[in-house]
């Protein structure tokens, strides 16, 4: 917050902190770009939710992230030593609508082909629980 104030952009930045699950989709829909910069892996619910919403993504190539995100196809994948490229990547996504749309469509297509539906996931979990119970 201090940095945004010192840069004179505090009017353009909103710091919401933790939000409830029921509000996640409205924030995703309202966003222009999804950023994820964890230093171990960026594959988690937030990244997957952004992909399901068809958002252009900028993230780090750490952990298993590259198993899901393909650079310049369904996201922008930066190495840990490329953090200085984040502003340029954001600028390209915000100014080049063809590139942004291509990345967003790639993210959504990946989500549709790679992610289980809720029903598929719950059925797989039920099978695992049933197998465990049958072994007992």
| pLDDT tens, residue by residue, 60-90 | 999 999 999 999 999 999 999 999 999 999 9
pTM for this one?
0.80
Torsion angle (degrees, nearest 10) of CA 71, 62, 32, 30: 140
CATH superfamily of 2-135: Glycogen Phosphorylase B; (3.40.50.2000)
Write the pLDDT tens digit of every residue in 12-25.
888 888 888 889 88
Other C-beta atoms lying within 10 Å of the C-beta of residue 38: 15
Question: Using CA of residue 91, residue 95, residue 99, residue 104, what is the dihedral sign?
Answer: positive
Does residue 126 register a pLDDT over 90? Answer: yes
Q: Which two tokens stand for residue 22?
A: 């029921």
> What is the chain's mean pLDDT, rounded?
93
Mean pLDDT computed over 100-116:
96
């Amino acid at each position: 917050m201090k940095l945004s104030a010192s840069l004179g952009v505090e009017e353009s930045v909103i710091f919401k902190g933790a939000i409830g699950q029921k509000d996640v989709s409205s924030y995703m829909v309202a966003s222009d770009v999804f950023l994820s910069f964890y230093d171990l892996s960026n594959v988690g619910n937030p990244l997957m939710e952004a992909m399901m919403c068809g958002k252009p993504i900028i993230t780090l190539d750490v952990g298993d992230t590259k198993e899901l995100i393909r650079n310049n196809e369904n996201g922008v994948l930066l190495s840990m030593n490329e953090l200085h490229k984040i502003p340029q990547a954001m600028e390209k996504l915000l100014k080049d609508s063809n590139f942004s749309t291509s990345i967003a469509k790639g993210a959504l297509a990946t989500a549709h082909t790679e992610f289980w539906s809720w029903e598929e996931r719950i059925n797989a979990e039920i099978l695992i629980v049933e197998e465990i119970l049958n072994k007992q």
